[in-house]
Structure 1
């Protein structure tokens, strides 16, 4: 049964992979973040993680919360809104934090905290903690995809039509997958290529609050919106413009996920 379940997961991933607009960072981006986090776990956290999910790497589960969108039983329908927050653009830090905390209903901000709480609770059934871990891995990735901290009027960039090397696309899809896929690295190669910071830099990246991390993505989303109006024709120069910031978001996501998991599992 376990093997059949794995095959179903992989098959579902292939189907979803054809519609990257529905997925933050696409398949590769989420795996990059999970792989970086795995490399920065403490020894004790690694041992406790293995007790929780076995020997499967974090990257194996990184896209599960997107795979379940294909479920036909409606069991996971309510989780769709958990992957993002929508707020007005160009808010200062105080305004942003106030509006973030005032959002109604379940969303990316509330559910990161909820999954942390569930994962910490050792009184819960094992399966419930495993599911919380899968969501947490994915949601920290979503947090660092700047258009998942985007704007309601354009559905996080999905309604902003652009071309990517002449192919019709939208702003959200470019940031979900096309910029990453353009680099032509596997997720392990990508993690190795950008995970080159020293201990002091790691500490600096991992510092701050959840609200600070959300605001970082908000500020970057403002830059992206300003630089990518509807109808933009994107190619080499766009990759050059955002290459470093793209990689910084992926690295930050991985290191911050490691911080959270070390705090919970160590």
Structure 2
């Protein structure tokens, strides 16, 4: 009896822990972009979103798609979180690739979710799922290693040392660069959310292909600087990359707001 209880507790903890290992941005990163998006919603979009989420904020809803990875009934959503690019693309080349893309990935599913949310007669339960997934995936594709390489699982298999601890390249960009700032997600938003109207206009008019292109370019830069087994100079690495990471968090939030404003116009 005692062993059985301990076994159940262990399994429960394991189920909670495992999905965290594959999060894009990590919990705080998603909440940062979600909170940024919330600050740029139109009144009409805000009302439509509240009708679906209730008192759940965009920041809180942004992690739902990772948390439910512990439920096997949602296993079919796994590939929605990323799209693999195994080289650095020119923009025209990437556009041609996406035009032929029929795989289950972040690009095809983002387009699908936009279409679903625009349907007037979609059942509320379906619409809520679509909204939560769209929020999350828009943020996911701005984490550059969610456009990473197939053979290393977007940097998950690039094992390195960070603050003398074993980790991987994907995890550094998911959470460790953010967590090193030692800020809550609301403090982080207060620090970086100072966009201009011109910036927001430019970022929001860019198509999804442009979002992926920017992430692909940054991902290839990240790959070129680190290899498996490296002991990363964490202070230097943070200094060199935190501005790029913050720009991606900002773009994810601003573009999410733009997309939601368009859908619920």
Pair in the same fold by TM > 0.5: yes
CA distance in 2, matches of 1:19, 1:143: 18
Pairwise CA distance, 1:87: 1.5
Q: Could you say what secondary structure the match of 1:111 adopts?
A: helix
Residue of 126, 129, 132 corresponding to 1:128: 126
Q: Hey, what does 2:139 align to over in structure 1?
A: 141
Contact 1:205/1:252, CA 8 A, preserved across alignment: yes
Taking the aligned partners of 1:103 and 1:179, their CA distance within structure 2 comes to 32
Q: Deviations over 1:133-173 (max 9, x none)?
A: 00001001111000000111111001111111110000011
Structure 1 residues 180 and 60: alpha-carbon distance in aligned structure 2, compared to 1, 3 A threshold: same
Offset at 1:60? 1.5
Kindly state the Cα deviation for residue 48 of structure 1 after the two structures are TM-superposed: 1.8
Q: Which runs of 5+ in 2 are unaligned?
A: 1-11
- Cα distance between partner residues in 2 of 1:206 and 1:14: 39
CA distance in 1, matches of 2:15, 2:41: 31
In structure 2, distance between residues paired with 1:159 and 1:101: 29
Provide the C-alpha distance between the structure 2 equivalents of 1:135 and 1:110, rounded to a whole number of angstroms: 13
Per-residue deviation, residues 118-138 of structure 1 (Å, max 9, x unmatched): 111120111110110000010
Which residue of the other structure, out of 103, 106, 112, is the alignment partner of 1:105? 103
Higher deviation after alignment, 190-199 or 45-54: 45-54
Paired residues in the alignment total: 253
**Corresponding position: 1:262 with 2:261:** yes
How far, CA to CA, are the matches of 1:17 and 1:207 in structure 2?
A: 38
Is 1:34 aligned to 2:41, yes or no?
Answer: no
Distance across 2 between alignment mates of 1:114 and 1:17: 30
Which of 77, 81, 91 matches 1:93? 91
Does the C-alpha gap of structure 1 residues 196 and 162 become closer, same or farther in structure 2, counting only changes over 3 Å? same
Q: CA 1:20–1:56 in structure 2 vs 1: closer, same or farther (change >3 Å)?
A: closer
Contact 2:63 2:136 in 1 (8 A): yes
TM-score (ref. length: structure 1): 0.90
Q: Contact 2:20–2:66 (CA<8 Å) still a contact in 1?
A: no
Does the 8 Å CA contact 1:31/1:63 hold for their aligned counterparts?
yes
Shift in Å at residue 55 of structure 1?
A: 2.4
Q: Which residue of 2 aligns with 1:177?
A: 175
3-state SS, counterpart of residue 76 of structure 1: helix
Structure whose alpha-carbon radius of gyration is higher: 2
The separation in 2 between residues aligned to 1:184 and 1:27, in whole angstroms, is: 14
The alignment's TM-score, normalised by the length of structure 2, stands at 0.91
Aligned pair partner of 2:218 in 202, 207, 220: 220
Change (3 A) 1:68 1:24: same
Distance 1:107 1:19, change over 3 A: closer
Deviation at 1:103, TM superposition (A): 3.4
Counterpart in the other structure of 1:5: none
The CA deviation string for residues 180-206 of structure 1, in whole angstroms up to 9 with x for no partner, is 111111111111211111211211222
Deviation at 1:17, TM superposition (A): 5.4
| Aligned residue runs from structure 1 range 1-266, under 5 A | 16=16, 20-71=20-71, 74-234=72-232, 235-266=234-265
**Alignment check: 8 A CA contact 1:20 1:173 kept:** no
CA distance in 2, matches of 1:42, 1:174: 34
C-alpha separation between the residues in 2 aligned to 1:13 and 1:247?
31
How far apart, CA to CA, are the structure 2 residues paired with 1:18 and 1:52? 28
Distance (Å, rounded) in 2 between the aligned partners of 1:100 and 1:186: 36
